[in-house]
Amino acid sequence: MTLSRNYEESKDKRRNKDGLQSNRMLLEVGDRFSGVRNKSESELCVAADPLSPAAQNGDVSGRYLGNDPTSTESYSTARGWLSNCSTHTKCNETVSGSSRIDAHHSLLPTRCVEISPDGRLYLRLTDGLYGTYITLTHRWNTGTERCKTTTANYEERLLGSGLEELPQLFKDVLVIAQKLGVNYVWIDSICIIQYGDEGADWRREAPKMAQYYQYSIFTIAGTKEDMTDGILVPSQDNVTPWASRLAQLPYRDKNNALAGHFYVYKRKIPLVDDYVSQVRDSILFRRGWILQEWLLSKRIIWYTTHGLFFECQQELPRADDQSQLTFALASSELQSHLQLKASFHHSAPSILDFWYHALEVYSTCYLTQPNLDRVLAVSGLAKEVGAILARSKAGETGADVEKEVFVSGLWLRDIHRGLLWEEDHSAQPWTTKVEGTPSWSWTSLLTQMKWPDKGQGTQPVCKVTAICSRERKKHNLADFIVEGNFLQPTTPMSEPARFDPTNKFSCLHIRGRLHTVHVRGYLLTEENLYTAAFSTAYDPAPKECRWRAICSPKRPEIIAGWGSLEQLPVEENTCADFGVAVRALLVSTRYLRSGILLKRSEPVLDIVFLEVVDGDNGVYRRLGVGRVADRELIRDFESMKEQDIQLI
């Protein structure tokens, strides 16, 4: 707790002028510590022994717990965090607002590790049982691999055998659960069958993580790179929160009677910096699965080498000395990080803005098995986003998430924006394609990516007319016809389309305008990049990136726009005088507004570059994305007749 905040709270509690003397003294000491009077930027904090009158009366909430996470004070602090969070509205309802959450009486996951009264461990098939459970987010390692549940050891684990040799991390989680009076723990590698059933149980359980993490009493997260010794080890000996000697001050109660003392100190490491280094920049946050586990968890306790941090859905993170992050002191990058979690809620202005922001963060993370997990690792997020989209369409009642169409990581209702993903300018060039995914989806490449703002007045131009929901040799007859934003089976015998957040492959049948353009050399200078960005309503202008110049075949000397062609084949990635001819699909039209007194709106085309796969049947593959601002080339696009293509 910072000095200024403590002073204001204490001032409200004390009832007479004399009772303020301690606080005035505190302010004077604060000046000597920081040279800054009454400002949170000074990172000046107060603390008291938990048994002191200052703490018992609630006047000083700051604590120093020491460096032992197994201490009574540490567990007491965790209980206090959970108790305070029980009054938060956002922390006690699902993200979609569809259900209230009682974390002490929740439907348990399909399976949990149960701690029996005698300490024996069982893999419990819960069968609709209600109770309280803890979830874990962690990086898999060799220890995780050795203790995973398979079809071979599944039955014996149900009988209470086969869980004796667990990694220290798992043992520590079970100890924490016992200390806090929780009998069930959900650990993915143990509670989901990992091998022997060809992934059937994993595919069933992965979408349920939206429920599992939201309904747990809290999630445990260990941020150390080496988890060999678990998380219940003393923090670094030289890590104490104060930068100089503690100042001991006398405490006066509301009757102005001397009653012990409390302490004031200046932080060695600013709280914001401590949180970034210990949590946001930890190796755990580089893991692909962490994104949805962090966003879905209503409460997380981070076990770090500098102590505990607590984070919930409604408030900014806290450290175990009870100090709380100040949003205004955070860097723009950290503010964006904190806003991402805050905006994952049905009350947010645009859940689709959240979705694209989340995918941009997700694209920076690492997956061990991207061919299997690229979509699965965000399926829990997709489930809640789908529920919010359905709710926004139907209002407070009658929401039907089954009518939302989720195709290979994108939403049909916003497919025109979804198709416009681009390799992030700061990223290294992509190196890996993801097998079994469509070229038009962000899931097809392992690279850091970004989406454009929708832009005021942006109008979709092409139309998705049908969808195939599975990979096959030919897609001449689609599985489903698109009617509005819904799907109808093409044959009476076909199954109706259902919302599937794990959908990995889809073929899009599109009716739209195609035109041939030429891709020429790279826009190498900052001036050229700025001109290309400004003329195409792209903001902010990149200072360096791998944009190519786009030209009309009829006027190769005129730069008509830019293209980001991540998948242009290497053998064609040349800069001939007239460029490389590629097909371009007109996706949407946005407008560049200029002028001060006389306002003008100039059209700008959003286009997706295509490679012919099967010319006879109109089958194409995505090469990249770009924009065109040249009026003559725009007229050429608009004069083209619509045609039906398949985008795979």
pLDDT digits (tens, 9 = 90+) for 66-92: 889 999 989 999 999 999 999 999 999
Q: Would you state the structure tokens that stand for residue 593, as one six-digit string?
A: 């507004």
DSSP summary character for residue 108:
P
Q: Would you state the structure tokens that stand for residue 232, as one six-digit string?
A: 């219940």
Which H/E stretch holds residue 611? Answer: strand 600-614
**First CA to last CA distance, the chain:** 55
Query: What pLDDT sits at residue 498?
Result: 83
Q: Give me the phi and psi of 75, to 5 degrees please.
A: -70, -35
Which of 322, 343, 378, 297 shows the shortest CA–CA distance to 103? 297
Angstrom distance (rounded) from CA 523 to CA 575: 11
Distances in whole angstroms, Cα of residue 324 to Cα of each of 6, 242, 309, 313: 12, 16, 10, 14
DSSP 3-state assignment of 435?
Answer: coil
DSSP summary character for residue 328:
G
Identify the segments of the chain with pLDDT beneath 50: 1-42, 396-398, 572-573
Q: Give me the phi and psi of 82, to 5 degrees please.
A: -65, -40
| Residue 82, C-beta contacts closer than 8 angstroms, at least 6 positions apart | 180, 217, 218, 299
Q: 150 forms bridges with which residues in the sheet?
A: 195
Whether the ω angle into residue 540 lies within 30 degrees of 0, i.e. cis, is yes
Q: Would you state the structure tokens that stand for residue 326, as one six-digit string?
A: 């100040």
pLDDT digits (tens, 9 = 90+) for 336-394: 999 999 999 999 999 999 999 999 999 999 998 999 899 999 999 999 999 999 987 65
Q: Give me the phi and psi of 341, to 5 degrees please.
A: -65, -40
Where helices occur in 481-554 by DSSP H, the ranges are 526-535
Count of other CB atoms within 10 angstroms of residue 517: 25
Angstrom distance (rounded) from CA 267 to CA 44: 6
Query: What pLDDT sits at residue 206?
Result: 87
Query: What pLDDT sits at residue 32?
Result: 34
Strand spans (E) along 331-415: 406-407, 410-411
Count Cβ atoms within 10 A of the Cβ of residue 622 and give its class: 0-12 exposed, 13-18 middle, 19 or more buried. Answer: buried
Angstrom distance (rounded) from CA 201 to CA 180: 30
Q: Give the start-to-end residue ranges of the domains of the chain.
A: 511-643
